[in-house]
Chain A
Amino acid sequence: MNTDKDAVLARFKTAAALPPNRWIAEYPRARPMAVFCSYAPEEIILAAGFAPVRVRKQPSQSGAWGEHLQSYACPLARSLLEQAADDELAGFAGAVFAHSCDTMQALADIWRMRFADGFAWVVNVPTRLDGPHAAEYMLRELIEFRAALQRLMGKPIGDDDIRAAIALCNRVRALLGRLDTLRDRMTNAEFYAATLAAQTMPREEFIPLAESLIPQVEAASPITSRPRAMLVGAILDDLTVPTLADEVGLHLAGDDLCTSARYMEGQVSADAPPLEALATRYLGRTPCPAKHREGWRRGAALVALARQRQAHGVIFYLQKFCDPHAFDYADARRDLDVAGIPHITLEDDAGPATAQWRTRLQAFAEMLGGRTP
């Protein structure tokens, strides 16, 4: 295996761009299970012997989603349904939903009616992340999920299997966390290729590649001349935005994305019973905007994070028709304005609006160029 930095990054970029219909040819020894949300407990999926693959939006081809969903459904839901309807997920063991927003809730219903013969499970993650009863409820949901996978596999999933998977995922999160501290020695596209690869590749293949990459990145010199920005939103579908930021000379110094910071954050305790430890980590991490934690305020958290990362500005990358993020945006922009942190919004509907986004990012980079955090 070639562990040269460029070779590793090339493999990460390949994985980051890999559509689901080419996954099995690329990784023939693993059996994929589709997941759509960072609250899907991938440790239990791994313990059952599957490779969790975060399926993301792809450019629309057939429009098959229109048979089930209205045009005001978010592009992610439309695309996921279309990929499944077009058989792009052939060979996948099934799909795991985690409760987040109204649209994904409806998609899970539609999915289970349309693909009634396949495995599709909803982990009904509580909306309240705190309070005295959420952890117990989440634990019950994890127990039910384990039982469902056991029925699918026809064999038990032991606590030791889950502990081993927890160790694997903790390692992935730790490696991504280390890369997060080395962002200024990488291009934006390189860093985000690693984060997307971590959720696409079999984890056992990702870990040695990331381990070989890190010392090579550590040896590189930091690039300090670029204006620094934060990237905030739901899912990064591909490398378009990071690549455009590279092109216009912006450094993405931190983020609040569910395919990056919210995915890699926190370790699962090895000391507690495994399912309880999983419940604690999933409820304790930075909330998705579809969730509720008393007193939590995304705007305040973004201001604090921007200061910690010495970011000059914030880029909101929002999916059209994503209500939870739209509400948080309305609130967070006020906090950013009060803190004197400039921000722009890139809205994604049917796919990358590359030329328009480049123009906006270029103007933003020029505006930030003369600022100090």
Chain B
Amino acid sequence: MLEVRAVSKSFGATPVLRSVSLSVARGEFLTILGESGSGKTTLLRIAAGFERPGEGEVWMDGTRIDTLPPNRRPLNTVFQHYALFPHLSVFENVAYGLRASRAPRADIALRVEQALEQVHLTGLDTRKPSQLSGGQQQRVALARALVNHPRVLLLDEPLSALDATMRRRMQGELKALQREIGISFVLVTHDQEEAMALSDRIALLHAGTLEQIDTPAALYRHPRTAYAAEFIGRTNLLRGLVRNHTATAGPFIWPLDSPDGEALFSLRPEHIRFSSAGAPPGAVRFEASVADRLFQGSAVLLTLQCPGGLRLTARVPDPAPPAGAHSFEFTPDDVVRIPVPAG
């Protein structure tokens, strides 16, 4: 329904977006994920209409909208720092869009109440934003956007200003809310865990280009670029070769049915385990010493010093055996080959 077609944008001589295309399906929760400077916020602002694309178009339900001003687009935005009107009460903040579209008075009261109920914020109608907590302000911002029944809701890092506990709680509520009202959400965030937890699909943006757009699971299991593999979760990137159905990377060799050539391999830390008697056939075994350990609660992150100077990160369940040399293994099926970009 919302479709971004080959959008490019530069600020001065600095390119911010390079021909980005993506489309959001009806009722989909799409997350635009990227580090600061990746262009993710600019992409959202182009969809909302606060920036004009340098090149490319934005379409919605068969209508071109990048030529329309923001107040004529059928979408609403939840801003990063909420941008609530400080001089208006909670009720008036939420009613703002309805008043702008000249909705009947009786309708306004009803719809504002409904929207506030949807975000579980009732009884604070007369408060000013400054009298609300961060979480409550967040809810007002949501209600203020949703009350207008947008076809797509844009959310610009809506949870970044909340503390960790509140953020986790709002993530759950955001997901539940999106399922309940069934409209498309487009969320911008730099937090990959948030993206994984909430999204139907994630669009990973890097330096203004779309690295990969996929479901969270596909993005995690089958990253198509080195950047995607490293940004989503942790990984060990190994440079190597494939020749005659055999992969070589550092000290490791395993059979692989893949075209010959240079290759990058991604091996997730949780796929490295201590060797056991019941190892599946074909597992690659190696000796390594534990150089460092990082306690993470349910697991321990180990830095492994392998033969040939290679260092790997492994994630093993706690309690882990003491420091020293141990035997480890991984299953070749868990290793993902990432195409090496030409040049």
Do A and B assemble together?
Answer: no
